[in-house]
Amino acid sequence: MSIPYPTKPWSNGQTFTYQLPNGSDVTATFELAKNAWTFTTTTNVSVQSLSGPTVADPTPQVNGVDNYLILVVDKSDGTIKAITP
């Protein structure tokens, strides 16, 4: 399932609504300062129904040593950062 984003350019506060395969409506609002869309739903939707089933991959390793980073969002400014576990 792909999200049917509106045509660019996007404007601050712009919204659009689309329907998930399970019938739930999702509303997206664009925030220009963060160059990001925020998605909300008024129905009780689980993450699995939004993303589909998930299965964990094995931990990546190099020569027997864990080799991965964790992506997090910095709440102070909305940036994405990679941190070591």
Q: How confident is the model at residue 18 (pLDDT cuts 50, 70, 90)?
A: confident
Q: 65: which strand partners?
A: 62
Kindly report the pTM of this predicted structure: 0.50
Domain ranges in the chain?
1-52+64-85
The angle subtended at Cα 47 by Cα 81 and Cα 50, nearest 5°, is: 100
Check residues 42 and 51 and name the one with the higher pLDDT: 42
CA nearest to 14, candidates 29, 26, 3, 27 = 29
Question: Is the pLDDT higher at 9 or at 56?
Answer: 9
